[in-house]
């Protein structure tokens, strides 16, 4: 049985729009973590804040404890300079040969014997043998000394003021004429190699690949083309001597003829020879007034 009056009209209460949940007003954490239980979800934000605050505190502590000198440039470590080890001079303890007459000197090792040869006029080559340096000398060899591991120096007087090239060509022919006839001479000459070289500032000629003698010869003009000096490397030698020979050549010095003219011997029994006469600007002061008297060169 209805207990309400006949004309009773119940009042219906509707929620206001503000009370109706809107999709856009959902809780932020609920959107991010929809599957997480509400009681756990409510703890997420405090945990995040705690982590952020912890990082900030740690950063401030590290900055506060940073060493004061950390902004200074790094200390430069000095680099020690290593001095290069001096290279020993292989010719430091060598002997010195000096020839005042012809105005040259050079150094040579102790194991080469200093053998001065009697100067003689060679009718074939027109040269005077001055010195031989060798480890072995066969003095019974006809015409001088057969050498082993050594060199010989000879000189020729340039009587006719011949150019070096002409003199050398003449010497090459004379060397070969002893072994070849005229029909073979041209072929033999073509095998010889001629190279321009420089020794102590003097330009000379190096003769190699001779078909018979098989020796190297260096020709140089000295004393204003007054003489031709010839340096022979022995036919019999080992490879080690090639190095020694080059080192000897590197020590050659040609003395200034004017500087060495003062006190030079002059006159004598062969006063008419150029080597016994004084150069220009000097005169021969004899040590007596008698035939064949000798003396020394003095300035005019």
Residue 200 in this model has a pLDDT that exceeds 70: yes
Q: What is d(CA 141, CA 116) in angstroms, rounded to the nearest whole number? A: 16
Q: In Å, what is the CA distance from 78 to each residue of 66, 69, 73, 85?
A: 27, 21, 15, 21
d(CA 204, CA 198): 6
Top-confidence residue, 291 or 107:
107
pLDDT band at 12 (very low <50, low <70, confident <90, very high): low
pLDDT band at 219 (very low <50, low <70, confident <90, very high): very high
Question: What digits encode the pLDDT tens for the residues 93-147?
Answer: 899 998 888 889 999 998 887 766 655 555 555 678 788 888 877 766 555 567 7
**Cα-based torsion angle of the residue sequence 126, 131, 134, 136 in order, rounded to the nearest 10 degrees:** 70
Query: Helices (H) and strands (E) in the chain — how many of each?
Result: 6, 13
Would you state the pLDDT for residue 220?
A: 94
The full set of domains in the chain, from first to last, is 95-254 (3.40.1000), 265-299 (no CATH)
Q: Is the pLDDT of residue 232 over 70?
A: yes
The model's confidence at residue 24, banded by pLDDT at 50, 70 and 90, is: very low
Q: How far apart are CA 220 and CA 218, in angstroms?
A: 7
Element (H, E) at 250: helix 239-250
Phi and psi at 50, nearest 5°, equal -65, -40
Residue keyed to tokens 């003689």 = 120
């Amino acid at each position: 049985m209805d207990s309400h009056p006949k004309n009773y009209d119940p009042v219906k209460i509707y929620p206001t729009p503000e009370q109706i949940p809107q999709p856009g007003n959902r809780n932020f954490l609920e959107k991010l973590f929809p599957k997480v239980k509400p009681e756990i979800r409510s703890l997420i934000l405090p945990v995040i804040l705690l982590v952020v605050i912890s990082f900030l505190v740690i950063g401030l502590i590290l900055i506060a404890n940073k060493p004061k000198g950390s902004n200074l440039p790094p200390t430069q470590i000095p680099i020690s300079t290593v001095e290069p080890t001096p290279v020993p001079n292989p010719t430091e303890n060598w002997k010195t040969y000096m020839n005042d007459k012809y105005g040259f000197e050079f150094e040579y090792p102790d194991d080469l014997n200093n053998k001065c040869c009697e100067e003689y006029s060679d009718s074939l080559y027109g040269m005077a043998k001055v010195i031989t340096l060798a480890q072995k000398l066969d003095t019974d060899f006809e015409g001088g000394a057969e050498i082993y591991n050594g060199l010989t120096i000879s000189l020729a007087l340039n009587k006719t003021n011949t150019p070096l090239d002409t003199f050398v060509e003449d010497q090459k022919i004379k060397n070969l004429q002893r072994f070849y006839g005229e029909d073979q001479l041209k072929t033999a000459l073509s095998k010889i190699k001629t190279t321009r070289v420089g020794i102590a500032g003097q330009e000379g000629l190096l003769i190699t690949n001779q078909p018979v003698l098989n020796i190297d010869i260096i020709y140089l003009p000295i004393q204003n083309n007054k003489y031709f000096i010839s340096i022979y490397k022995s036919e019999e030698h080992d490879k080690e001597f090639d190095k020694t020979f080059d080192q000897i050549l590197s020590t050659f010095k040609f003395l200034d003829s004017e500087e060495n003219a003062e006190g030079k011997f002059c006159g004598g029994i062969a006063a008419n020879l150029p080597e016994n006469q004084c150069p220009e600007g000097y005169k021969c002061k004899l040590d007596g007034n008698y035939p064949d008297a000798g003396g020394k060169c003095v300035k005019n």
